[in-house]
Structure 1
Amino acid sequence: MKNEGQNPTGSFKDRGMTVGVTEAVALGRERVICASTGNTAASLAAYAARAHLECVVLVPAGGVAQGKLAQAYFEGARIVGLRGSFDDAMNVVVDTADRLDAYVLNSINPYRIEGQKTAAFEVFEQLGGNVPDWLMCPVGNGGNLAAYWKGFQELKALGATERLPRLVGVQAEGAAPIADAILEGREEIRPVEKPETVASAIRIGNPANWRKTVRAIRGSGGLALKLPDPLLVEAQTQLAREEGIFVEPASAASVAGAMRLAREGTLRSEETVVCVCTGHGLKDPEAALRERVEVAVVEPTVKAILSALGGSRR
């Protein structure tokens, strides 16, 4: 597992955002802006605060996890909720930026991809100078998978490796325009008008980086998957209980993809498989608490505690 939840604001977005905000400062810009499902807003707000830049974020009203919204709010971002989806926010972010003289820091900004590609360098280093056989990555807007591909290609161009990994882009069934295009052999995506999934971070129907993502998957000889929400939740739960790694549902898509391919026999036991876990579970607490947590309340005695646990323990 490549656990990106350990980054400063709890998601992979920090890799690209520190580079993007640094460029904004170098250009003399005083205001930055993004459209976001949550993680981009939290990351941009943090780095903008550190750089003393004004930050504006556009989010789908009611469609952002409270943990992510709280981060952006306390980091000083000016948050505007839009009646619509993330895709609606993306449709207006560039024009809004022009009117505000703001620097756009969505993943359409190439500096974001330049920062995010460093994750590929880290994977290579952490595997002892080796490239994995497979790299599984959740796909929403598509920039992260494209960044990994760019990073691995650069390692090969530098002579550090002769191999490239096969990339697997994993989407939720209710928001899978990229996976659908690849699975159906199409050259163009068909945007999903009303994307629906418990995985809010990848609830995107018209991904801005779909061309780069499709090229990366096909160029690597990889695969695209679309998985039902119950499998994402199963992977999220299993990862927490067996590895002690708590991720948000979208982040668990990579692990769910590996589970699916392993069950189908596509992955072999001798192969190295890296699952990119893109964000911490505390980013989306509502999803984690979708089922009521039952807590036994007893008297503060050993006897009562052991009784609640179902008998004596030694």
Structure 2
Amino acid sequence: MKLRCTICGREYDKPVQRCECGEPVEFELFHGEPYIGKTVWERFYDFWPVEPDPELSLGEGDTPLVKSKLGKELGIRLYLKNETVNPTWSFKDRGTFLAISHAVREGYKAVGTVSTGNMAASVAAYAARAGLKAKILVSEKASKEKLKAVSVYGADVIRVKGDYGRLYFESLKLGERLGVYFMNSDNPFRVEGYKGISFEIAEEITPDYVLIPTSSGGLFRGVAKGFTELFASGLIDRIPTLVAVQAEGCSPICRAFEEGKERIERFESPKTIAHAIENPHPPSGNAVLKLLREMGGLCVTVSDEEIMKAQAELAREGLFVQPASATGIAALRKLRESRRIEEGAKVVSILSGAGLKTLGQLDIRDVRECPLEKLDECLKT
């Protein structure tokens, strides 16, 4: 099981979280053939760096690829990879499952993560499933709404006062010293788990473009690695163009990409409704930037207004997603208007998480009052 730095190329023969140069690491490319199996973990058995433990599974993965009505309006064939139906309602469960499988195999008694949202809930849930202690580190600004979805699993939730940006790296150091396995946003096993999204897409269609909401960069790296491994194994004949999507109010990767820089810089004073991708200095930012250039990808930013419009459009199709999940549809409109995505293209937009955790951002709309005696009249209008 070799790990290689995504930037400097240094190799490691044992599991490490990050390279000595400070950049993220990833497992070498896996090759193989699909098996006949019920789950994505069984069908692509050769492609995982650790054997997934079915006893620890909560039924993650194998999410639906839904054909969207918006495709006709936009002049393309549009599909939505609905990750909101994972056990804790986001794509994070795929990576958590694989990381938990590793942690249990290595004998850890406690796991942890740095998160205030989807990843916190995912780690708390899977730790409960595995009988492990969960240490969830959140910022002092974390809302009660988000913390309820974490504490319900019995996790040890700790509000950390101070520089939240440093917390990612401090947690890895402390975890190593205290025997807590921190599976943060771009943990190498977590990234491997996200490859399953690419595998499942490729089982159904060969897309021309895949739109990926991008924050820390772990999801983008996982999807990119998944398609790369399929291509290297001869299972697909081309790799789709990958589109990293960020909010205008916090877009360090897109800004560096557009300015032709090799490294990202901290995005000062971030502000966006898409909190799930509001990361001013993403730990895999440089790795994503490198992938975008090597793979001929695109990086697109969208405004909060465009995000909210896209969220409403998806709701009218019966899909209630968090604002970050709607960024792909918002970006798609811009790409079609600028003709960077051609008419008739096959496009997949990844819906990364459900809207149930962001209810506080919504207003109640279109609710009428009606006396029972006049209900027939109300129903007619």
Name the TM-score, length of structure 2 as normaliser: 0.76
CA drift at 1:71:
2.2
Other structure's SS at 2:120 match: helix
Structure 1: any 5+ residue segments left out of the alignment? none
Distance 1:197 1:226 in 2: 11
Q: Show the counterpart of 1:44.
A: 123
1:24 maps to 2:103: yes
Question: Could you tell me whether the CA contact under 8 Å between 1:10 and 1:283 is conserved in 2?
Answer: no
Q: 153-162 vs 101-110, which deviates more?
A: 101-110
Other structure's SS at 1:159 match: coil
Q: Please tell me the residue identity of whatever aligns with 2:185.
A: S
Distance 1:156 1:41 in 2: 33
Question: Could you tell me whether the CA contact under 8 Å between 2:84 and 2:351 is conserved in 1?
Answer: yes
Q: Please tell me the residue identity of whatever aligns with 1:189.
A: I
1:255 maps to 2:329: yes
User: In 2 relative to 1, CA 134–195 (structure 1 residues): closer, same or farther, beyond 3 Å?
Assistant: same
1:55 maps to 2:151: no
Aligned sequence identity (%): 39
Other structure's SS at 1:8 match: coil
Distance 1:216 1:283 in 2: 31
CA drift at 1:80:
1.3
Deviation per CA, 1:167-207: give whole Å up to 9, x if none.
Answer: 11011111110010001100011112432111111111110
Question: Could you tell me whether the CA contact under 8 Å between 1:225 and 1:257 is conserved in 2?
Answer: yes
Please show how residues 126-141 of structure 1 align to structure 2 within 5 Å: 126-127=204-205, 130=206, 132-141=207-216
Greater fraction helix: 1
Q: Show the counterpart of 1:12.
A: 91
Question: Could you tell me whether the CA contact under 8 Å between 2:116 and 2:147 is conserved in 1?
Answer: no
Question: Could you tell me whether the CA contact under 8 Å between 1:65 and 1:200 is conserved in 2?
Answer: no
1:77 maps to 2:152: no
CA drift at 1:211:
2.1
Question: Could you tell me whether the CA contact under 8 Å between 2:119 and 2:185 is conserved in 1?
Answer: no
Distance 1:86 1:169 in 2: 24
User: In 2 relative to 1, CA 305–189 (structure 1 residues): closer, same or farther, beyond 3 Å?
Assistant: farther
Name the TM-score, length of structure 1 as normaliser: 0.91
Distance 2:310 2:100 in 1: 34
Question: Could you tell me whether the CA contact under 8 Å between 1:38 and 1:65 is conserved in 2?
Answer: no
Distance 2:337 2:312 in 1: 18
Deviation per CA, 1:207-259: give whole Å up to 9, x if none.
Answer: 01112211222222111112111111111011111x11110001111111111
Q: 208-217 vs 34-43, which deviates more?
A: 208-217
CA drift at 1:305:
5.6
1:119 maps to 2:119: no
Q: Please tell me the residue identity of whatever aligns with 1:118.
A: G
Give aligned pairs, total.
302
Other structure's SS at 2:309 match: helix
Other structure's SS at 2:238 match: coil
Q: Show the counterpart of 2:37.
A: none
User: In 2 relative to 1, CA 268–82 (structure 1 residues): closer, same or farther, beyond 3 Å?
Assistant: same
Distance 1:65 1:217 in 2: 37
Distance 1:14 1:220 in 2: 27
Q: Please tell me the residue identity of whatever aligns with 1:194.
A: S
CA drift at 1:89:
2.9
Structure 2: any 5+ residue segments left out of the alignment? 1-79
Other structure's SS at 2:257 match: helix
Query: In structure 1, which of residues 176, 182, 189 is the aligned counterpart of residue 251 of structure 2?
Result: 176
1:297 maps to 2:369: yes
Question: Could you tell me whether the CA contact under 8 Å between 1:236 and 1:252 is conserved in 2?
Answer: yes
Deviation per CA, 1:21-64: give whole Å up to 9, x if none.
Answer: 01000000001111013111000011100000000111122345
Distance 2:337 2:311 in 1: 17
Deviation per CA, 1:89-121: give whole Å up to 9, x if none.
Answer: 324222332343200101332111111111100
Quote the RMSD (CA, aligned, Å).
1.7
Q: Show the counterpart of 2:33.
A: none
Distance 1:216 1:84 in 2: 32
Deviation per CA, 1:240-290: give whole Å up to 9, x if none.
Answer: 11x111100011111111111112222222110100110011121112x2x
CA drift at 1:161:
1.4
Distance 1:297 1:84 in 2: 47
1:100 maps to 2:186: no
Q: Show the counterpart of 1:266.
A: 340
Q: Please tell me the residue identity of whatever aligns with 1:297.
A: E
